[in-house]
Amino acid sequence: MVTLTIELDDALYARIREMAERAGTRPEQVVEQQLADALGDGVSPEFRAQVSAYLGRHERLMQRLAE
């Protein structure tokens, strides 16, 4: 793992801190996730969350379909 030090505008850091509080995580994790999403495969975190929620609700069906 690499440590990266950056300077942020106070207003931007306040937004990141608010996001972290809502998510119950640390600001550093919010920044890391946002960077991963921006550089990732183009699938939005919202879509991933919706798919995960759907699969969780229909776990038995997914298991039967996989057989």
2 domain-assigned = no
4 domain-assigned = no
26 domain-assigned = yes
Segment 6-27, tens digit of pLDDT: 999 999 999 999 999 999 999 9
pLDDT of 46: 85
What average pLDDT score do residues 24-37 get?
Answer: 91
47 domain-assigned = yes
Q: Which residue has the higher pLDDT, 40 or 57?
A: 57
5 domain-assigned = no
41 domain-assigned = yes
Q: Taking all residues of the chain, what is their mean pLDDT, rounded to a whole number? A: 88
**3-class secondary structure, 5:** coil
pTM: 0.57
The answer to whether residue 56 scores a pLDDT higher than 90 is no
Q: What are the residue ranges of helices labelled H in 1-67?
A: 10-23, 27-39, 45-57, 59-66
